[in-house]
């Protein structure tokens, strides 16, 4: 009789584990599936940006910016200090230091930083002056943020966020149009 009760208990325990595993796997493949972050970049002080600074090849031109990172996931994302790069016509013309941060789950943060432009590389590119004459400068910035995803303060998974932003600066109106694409890879 006790042997029959033990068999029933084992079968029920096994069924419970199968159902629990199915529920956990379903949740991780649907609700907890990693979603790409939303990243926007806004320049600060673009109205004070003076194109005449670019005639001095040894000048160091910095452009302040605010990077807003929105995390739509149920896990927080933590990344260390990193560097982004600004490209003009397929050559690196600037660097953007990005301080390490924790982006809370289903929340957003704003990171203040700046882009340091290498003026000599920029103004010696013949396409730069062509773009200046047309009134619009086009840049591409890229950043790779390796870090960790913290799920429920129990699970820690390695992840990397890859971001590419296309910028277009209208010289006369000092307006900036940008479009950022980000993806996360676990």
Q: What sections of 35-109 are H helices per DSSP?
A: none
Taking Cα atoms as reference points, which of 23, 32, 49, 51 lies closest to residue 151?
32
Q: What is the pLDDT of residues 11-58, one digit of tens each?
A: 999 999 999 999 989 988 888 888 999 998 888 876 556 666 566 666
Rounded to whole angstroms, the Cα distance separating 126 from 83 reads 27
Rounded to whole angstroms, the Cα distance separating 150 from 91 reads 36
- N-term to C-term CA, the chain: 51
pLDDT at site 81: 97
pTM of the model: 0.82
* In the chain, beta strands by DSSP E: 38-44, 60-71, 76-79, 82-88, 91-98, 101-103, 107-118, 136-151, 155-170, 175-185
Say which residue the tokens 């913290």 belong to.
150
């Amino acid at each position: 009789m006790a042997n029959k009760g033990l068999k029933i208990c084992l079968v029920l325990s096994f069924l419970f584990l199968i159902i629990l595993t199915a529920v956990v796997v379903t949740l991780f493949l649907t609700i907890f599936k990693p979603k790409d972050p939303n990243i926007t970049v806004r320049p600060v002080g673009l109205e004070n940006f003076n194109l005449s600074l670019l005639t001095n090849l040894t000048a160091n031109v910095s452009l302040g910016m605010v990077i807003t990172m929105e995390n739509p996931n149920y896990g927080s994302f933590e990344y260390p200090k990193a560097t982004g790069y600004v490209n003009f016509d397929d050559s690196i013309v600037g660097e953007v230091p990005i301080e390490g941060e924790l982006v809370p789950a289903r929340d957003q943060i704003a990171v203040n930083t700046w882009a340091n432009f290498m003026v000599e590389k920029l103004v010696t590119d013949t396409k730069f002056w062509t773009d200046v004459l047309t009134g619009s400068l086009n840049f591409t910035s890229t950043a790779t943020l390796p870090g960790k995803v913290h799920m429920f303060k129990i699970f820690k998974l390695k992840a990397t966020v890859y971001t590419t932003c296309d910028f277009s600066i209208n010289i006369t109106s000092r307006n900036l149009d940008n479009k950022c694409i980000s993806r996360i890879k676990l």
